Structure 1
Amino acid sequence: MDAKRVALYKEVFVHRTDAYMHNTGFGWNPVRDCGQDRPFGDGQVLSHIEGRCRCGLYAMKPAPENTCKWVVADFDDNAQAFEQAWALAHHLESQELFPLVERSFSGKGYHVWLFFEEPVKAKDARTLMLNALVEANIPIQGTQGKGKNTQRSFDRLFPSQDETNAYGNIIALPLHGEALKQGNCAFIDRQGQPYPDQWAKVAEILEKRVPTSHPLLYGERANIPGIRRVRATDFCDSDNSFALLKELPDHLNQIRECEAIKTSLTNPNAFNNSTWTGILSNIAVFESKGQDLAHEVSRGYDMRVVNQNPAHVYSEEETDRAYFHKVDYIQKIGTPASCRWLSEKGWTCPKLEYCPYKFIAMYGAPPSLTLYNTELTLSNDDRKKLMDWEQTAGYQSIFDLFPTDATYAVYKDGKLTEIRRKEYWCLCHLLGTVKLYVRYPSFKNTVRSIWYDLSNQMDADRFAQDLTENEVMYDRSDTSFWILRDGAEITLDVAMKVLEHLAVEAGIELTETWSDVIFLKTQKEELFHPLPYFSKLKTTLLEGGTSQ
């Protein structure tokens, strides 16, 4: 009988066998031998169902598989938990799916299980369950916590992430032998009574598992209602550009330079619980890859010297629980806590008012991810194209057209203002949202590309035609031209001789004062000209053309 139950248990519940955790009454801990994870096998199953050891399993296999055998919605201990768990179960049943509702080990929380015939992608399983929660009108945002009488009792899903490169999170396994005697860790009916034969119920589910071809596994993930909205000035776009951060090589190390992370590592007691979890939400963008950093920023926390509360000290279990809860949150919502939100909750970054990134997770990210403009909506596909351009041609291909000491400026409040973040403003220029200007010539009186305004439309047309026929690279805006060069810097005098030669070749008659438009400029606004390629990336890269 034991062998049959062990085999049935493994068939239904066990997917990942290379590691597990157990709880001996003092929290969950990994089970290891000489530093190596102990596999989960028949002996561990038997110990669990006999009540000799309480085991927890990792919900999914890591990349490249990222698969799970079941998905579970966890409802914490509060007055709404039972009704909301069953509301979800009834909704799933209305879709001709067959969930099981389990009362937790404590007897106060509930798990709604849904099983699959074969392993499926965790992302698809989570999408199915998240959509069901939304469709069943079950609150999944707002205040929540064990023992709290709030409208929300839903805590999270297992698996708590779409992908993992390591362990992910665990769920306490059902049918623990000792807990079953109290009616807990048991599958229950609508009246809250354990089914008389738990093993028959588990065997029954074998024939009712969700097939991998079920269409609900491949639907679009619903928009989550009631999410915390961030101010437009705090956000980068209506699309989830945070998801693209994982594609940047070594960006997780880049955010270590952020003031919030540096302070967390040197003085973690500077943060209260809200700001600590806000920092975790930013690290959670990186899912399992960020788990080690989450512990690093938490490990030094110890407020006992301040309030003598033994609970206010770093806990590996609590950090993992909070971190993977945030991973789940980010995968549902897509937006971590902003730096301004951290300030409102108790910790203010000393660089808050002038740091351009606005989110810890965005620290050091390229302009393709940090650009936000209400007049230009960028999808993630757009941002991916821009990221590819940044990593191939990139901003240097633009700045190489000008001297190394070139000065750049934009108009702010009607005044031409020199800028520092030239890559950011260059992208704005290339997308056609804000013009970026360059001083011509440079302070050293040198140039690379050569600028001139012919003023006359007919001459400008003739000049453009001749440049094209002679394969001279140029960019034109009305009657103004940039003759594009990325070679050695030359003096302005030499540049004017080149320009004169090109004009003569095009059959344009120059007056004796033709060079005054350059040499007689004295006002700041007269010395700056818009860069070439205004709106170039928008019209070529994002609207179907090819960037050059």
Structure 2
Amino acid sequence: MNSPSNSPLGGRADDRESLLTRAAFPLYAGRDGKDWVETAVAEKSNIEAEMARVRARLANLDAERQQLQREMASLEVRLAAKHAPAVKQPSFEDAPVTNSSPSHEKVDLFRRLFAGRPDVFPVRWENRKTGRSGYSPACANEWVKGICGKPKVKCGECPHQKFIPPDESIMEKHLRGDDGRSGDFVAGVYPLLPGDTCWFLAADFDKASWTDDANALLETCRVKGVPAALERSRSGNGGHVWIFFSEPVAARLARQLGSVLITETMERRPEIGFASYDRLFPNQDIMPLGGFGI
């Protein structure tokens, strides 16, 4: 009589079968197969239902957190306003700068209002072949052969940076719209200053409904006692609402002020939708490493 063959585990084959059917699976040994399948399906259904409940709870918590963040931003702005020194509203009856003022006085006023980084400014470029346009830092070494590494090297990482500061001559060229050489000249501004502060806040609107949305925001500013001005954009198909500060303020607080005013506007005028609103400038709370502070 042949003896049972030994298993790879060192035991007999019939012992191995016993191990697999009873020892390794004690929960299912002796159960009817159909009952076990039904039980497993029911357990899976219960687990999926519990997962759905947890997901819904997480979504509710996210929504509650966002609402609390908006409330906190509003409270911080209100607190900062209460502790801020009272600023007397300027009178324009005896304004020091008028249409008849010398050009240098107008330029100086413009520079004080639209003040940004003093060491660099963006200049508009346009590729007539592709139709593309944009802004890049004004640099004396731009496209200089053997020095400028564009487009492979980013301006913020270039070792040959020689940025041009936005002095009075640059502002005058911008206001005239002509650099005296190639014609059209448009200078921009990097609003985020060293120390993460800014002199102004601007809300950008750029769709068909921009006039309604921008005017609704202006009305909210008026109600809240926040001086603001509307400017039509270069394209004519959008605009910017500007809020100027008497001294540099933290960009985080400035952006929170803008968010509160926009939220108030949307709550006061829910019918307008605010679809044309794009973003705030500065659009960052903190200057990123190697960034320019847009």
State the match for 2:139 in structure 1: 32
**Is the 1:73–1:156 contact (alpha carbons within 8 Å) kept by the matching residues of 2?**
yes
State the match for 1:81 in structure 2: 210
Amino acid at match of 2:137: P
State the match for 1:528 in structure 2: none
Q: Are 1:167 and 2:268 matched, yes or no?
A: no
State the match for 2:191 in structure 1: 59
Q: Are 1:8 and 2:106 matched, yes or no?
A: no
Q: Are 1:158 and 2:281 matched, yes or no?
A: yes
Q: CA distance change for structure 1 residues 125 and 150 in 2, over 3 Å: closer, same or farther?
A: closer
State the match for 2:172 in structure 1: 46
**Is the 1:22–1:29 contact (alpha carbons within 8 Å) kept by the matching residues of 2?**
yes
Amino acid at match of 2:119: D
Whole-angstrom CA distance in 2 between matches of 1:167 and 1:51: 27
Whole-angstrom CA distance in 2 between matches of 1:137 and 1:29: 34
* Cα deviation, residue 29, structure 1: 1.9
Q: How does 1:340-351 map to 2 (within 5 A)?
A: none
* Cα deviation, residue 151, structure 1: 5.3
* Cα deviation, residue 24, structure 1: 3.2
Q: How does 1:491-506 map to 2 (within 5 A)?
A: none
Q: CA distance change for structure 1 residues 68 and 58 in 2, over 3 Å: closer, same or farther?
A: same
**Is the 1:88–1:138 contact (alpha carbons within 8 Å) kept by the matching residues of 2?**
no
SS in 2 for 1:155: strand
* Cα deviation, residue 138, structure 1: 6.8
Amino acid at match of 2:240: H
SS in 1 for 2:122: strand
State the match for 1:115 in structure 2: 244
Q: CA distance change for structure 1 residues 58 and 21 in 2, over 3 Å: closer, same or farther?
A: same
SS in 1 for 2:231: strand
**Is the 1:58–1:167 contact (alpha carbons within 8 Å) kept by the matching residues of 2?**
no
Whole-angstrom CA distance in 1 between matches of 2:120 and 2:134: 17
Match 2:124 to one of 15, 23, 36? 23
Whole-angstrom CA distance in 1 between matches of 2:285 and 2:267: 21
**Is the 2:213–2:274 contact (alpha carbons within 8 Å) kept by the matching residues of 1?**
no
**Is the 2:287–2:293 contact (alpha carbons within 8 Å) kept by the matching residues of 1?**
no
* Cα deviation, residue 27, structure 1: 2.2
Q: How does 1:297-312 map to 2 (within 5 A)?
A: none
Q: How does 1:147-296 map to 2 (within 5 A)?
A: 152-165=275-288, 166-170=290-294
Whole-angstrom CA distance in 2 between matches of 1:83 and 1:68: 27
Superposed CA deviations along residues 272-318 of structure 1, whole A, max 9, x for unmatched, are: xxxxxxxxxxxxxxxxxxxxxxxxxxxxxxxxxxxxxxxxxxxxxxx
Whole-angstrom CA distance in 2 between matches of 1:15 and 1:28: 15
Q: CA distance change for structure 1 residues 47 and 138 in 2, over 3 Å: closer, same or farther?
A: farther
TM-score (normalizing by structure 1): 0.28
**Is the 1:84–1:138 contact (alpha carbons within 8 Å) kept by the matching residues of 2?**
no
SS in 2 for 1:136: helix
**Is the 1:158–1:169 contact (alpha carbons within 8 Å) kept by the matching residues of 2?**
no
Whole-angstrom CA distance in 2 between matches of 1:169 and 1:138: 30
* Cα deviation, residue 15, structure 1: 2.9
Whole-angstrom CA distance in 1 between matches of 2:111 and 2:221: 24
CA RMSD, Structure 1 to Structure 2 (Å): 2.0
SS in 2 for 1:33: coil
Whole-angstrom CA distance in 1 between matches of 2:169 and 2:207: 31
Whole-angstrom CA distance in 2 between matches of 1:46 and 1:154: 30
State the match for 1:377 in structure 2: none
Amino acid at match of 2:175: I
State the match for 1:292 in structure 2: none
Whole-angstrom CA distance in 1 between matches of 2:210 and 2:198: 25
SS in 2 for 1:37: coil
SS in 2 for 1:22: strand
SS in 2 for 1:86: helix
SS in 1 for 2:169: helix
Consecutive unaligned residues of structure 1, counting only runs of 5 or more, are 140-148, 171-548
Q: Sequence identity of aligned pairs in percent?
A: 32
Q: CA distance change for structure 1 residues 56 and 138 in 2, over 3 Å: closer, same or farther?
A: farther
Match 2:228 to one of 99, 110, 116? 99
* Cα deviation, residue 101, structure 1: 0.5
SS in 2 for 1:5: helix
Whole-angstrom CA distance in 2 between matches of 1:138 and 1:109: 22
Rg comparison, structure with higher value? 2
**Is the 1:126–1:159 contact (alpha carbons within 8 Å) kept by the matching residues of 2?**
yes
TM-score (normalizing by structure 2): 0.51
* Cα deviation, residue 150, structure 1: 7.7
**Is the 2:207–2:275 contact (alpha carbons within 8 Å) kept by the matching residues of 1?**
no
After TM superposition, the runs of 4+ consecutive aligned structure 1 residues lying more than 3 A away are 165-170
Whole-angstrom CA distance in 1 between matches of 2:222 and 2:291: 31
* Cα deviation, residue 23, structure 1: 1.1
Q: CA distance change for structure 1 residues 51 and 164 in 2, over 3 Å: closer, same or farther?
A: same
Whole-angstrom CA distance in 1 between matches of 2:201 and 2:239: 14
